[in-house]
Amino acid sequence: MNIRIVFWDFVANFSLTIVVAAIVTFLWSLIANGSGKIDWETSFVLALVLATVLASRKSQELKGK
């Protein structure tokens, strides 16, 4: 298993997820409350969980080959 591939996969998934989650929470807050605030806690937790799950899945795929 190549740990670099898994690490960079984690970083890429984390970065993409935190950006998308921040945009979604901003738009949700803007539409629902009229106060465009980003919920950083939710964005960070979601990015951490999804990046971990997707990186571990990539690790399992690499072990299978």
In the block, residue with structure tokens 């807050």: 29
The alpha carbons of the chain give a radius of gyration, in whole angstroms, of 15
Q: Which helix (H) or strand (E) holds 15?
A: helix 3-32
Q: Name the pLDDT band for 50 (thresholds 50, 70, 90).
A: very high
The mean pLDDT value of the chain amounts to: 92
In the block, residue with structure tokens 């945009």: 23
Q: What is the mean pLDDT of residues 22-36?
A: 94
Tell me what pLDDT residue 62 has.
Answer: 82
Is residue 1's pLDDT more than 70? no
Is residue 36's pLDDT more than 80? yes
Tell me what pLDDT residue 61 has.
Answer: 86
pTM for this predicted structure: 0.85
